[in-house]
């Protein structure tokens, strides 16, 4: 009976001023000819390693990114997920037992790109932010599926512990709506949005207003961190 290996793969989404979501991809050499392929950062867990600790270690080792909030969102266990010829070629270069099955755990993070400048290391030849709409369709393993699953999770759950990373400690509802629209890739009705936000217990209205603006200053809101 063959062993089942456990890995983690990280969907790291970046938010920038160009109003586009981007994703962190690494580039790796997949054969002795020097052919390359894009992938999301991921690797095998070490023996007796905690899942989250492993995800943080692997992300830092491959991209230098550290101190991110990582949210586990799904497990991927299709027995065929590592059987493609290109994937087997890479596994033959880096694994002692390339035929063994690998089950992977997906982790998700959403960050301000200006705060995180990736630098490739280990088996990553390069690490770069790529526009979500320009992601190659032939990423390593099942990484295209993992990205789609991560996006579905983000857009259906709208986890405020993840979203809060993109906002200042005090923000306007217009700023929050702007984030929502980028994440959902759609325009939202202002009145309905504010009505829905008023029902979210982790968002608290302060007594403070914007300062130094030409228009009527808006009230500022904040996240109650202890409830996230």
In a 10 Å sphere around its CB, with 0-12 CB exposed, 13-18 middle and 19+ buried, how is residue 49 labelled? middle
Rounded average pLDDT over 123-134: 95
pLDDT band at 211 (very low <50, low <70, confident <90, very high): confident
38: which residues sit within 8 A by CB, 6+ positions away? Answer: 25, 26, 27, 130, 135, 136, 139, 140
Is 17 a residue whose pLDDT tops 90? no
CATH class of 167-227: mainly alpha
pLDDT band at 82 (very low <50, low <70, confident <90, very high): very high
* CA–CA gap between residue 191 and residue 6 (Å, rounded): 46
pTM listed for this prediction: 0.92
Is it true that 4-157 and 167-227 share their CATH fold?
no
Which letter does DSSP use for residue 171 in this model? B
What pairing do the DSSP bridges indicate for beta strands 36-39 and 101-112?
A: unpaired
Q: Measured between alpha carbons, how far is residue 2 from residues 5, 46, 98, 101 in Å?
A: 10, 18, 11, 8
> What is 2-50 written as a DSSP string?
--EEEEEEEEEEEE-TTS-EEEEEEEEE-STT--EEEE-SEEEPPTT--
Annotated domain spans of the chain: 4-157, 167-227
Q: Tell me which fold the domain 4-157 belongs to.
A: Nucleoside Triphosphate Pyrophosphohydrolase (3.90.79)
Q: What is the pLDDT of residue 2?
A: 66
User: Structure tokens of 19?
Assistant: 């109003």
Rounded average pLDDT over 119-133: 95
Q: Measured between alpha carbons, how far is residue 148 from residues 46, 86, 91, 131 in Å?
A: 27, 21, 24, 14
The per-residue pLDDT for range 172-197, each reduced to its tens digit, is 999 999 999 999 989 999 999 999 99
Q: What is the pLDDT of residue 226?
A: 83
Is 46 a residue whose pLDDT tops 90? yes
* Percent residues over pLDDT 70 in the chain: 99
Rounded average pLDDT over 200-210: 93
* CA–CA gap between residue 131 and residue 22 (Å, rounded): 4
């Amino acid at each position: 009976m063959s062993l089942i290996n456990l890995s983690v793969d990280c969907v790291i989404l970046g938010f920038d001023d160009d109003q586009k979501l981007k994703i962190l991809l690494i580039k790796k050499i997949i054969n002795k000819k020097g052919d390359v392929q894009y992938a999301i950062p991921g690797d095998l867990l070490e023996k007796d390693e905690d899942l989250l600790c492993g995800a943080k270690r692997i992300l830092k080792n491959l991209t230098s990114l550290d101190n991110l909030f990582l949210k586990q969102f799904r497990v991927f266990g299709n027995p065929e997920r590592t059987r493609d010829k290109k994937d087997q070629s890479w596994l033959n270069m880096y694994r002692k037992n390339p035929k063994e099955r690998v089950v992977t755990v997906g982790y998700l993070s959403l960050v301000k790109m200006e705060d995180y400048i990736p630098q490739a290391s280990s088996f990553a030849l390069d690490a770069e932010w790529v526009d979500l709409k320009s992601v190659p369709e032939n990423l390593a393993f099942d990484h295209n599926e993992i990205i789609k699953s991560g996006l579905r999770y983000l857009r259906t759950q709208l986890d405020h512990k993840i979203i809060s990373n993109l906002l200042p400690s005090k923000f306007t509802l217009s700023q929050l709506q702007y984030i929502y629209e980028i994440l959902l890739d759609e325009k939202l009705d202002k009145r309905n949005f504010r009505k829905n936000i008023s029902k979210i217990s982790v968002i608290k209205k302060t007594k403070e207003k914007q300062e130094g603006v030409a228009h009527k200053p808006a009230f500022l809101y904040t996240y109650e961190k202890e409830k996230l």
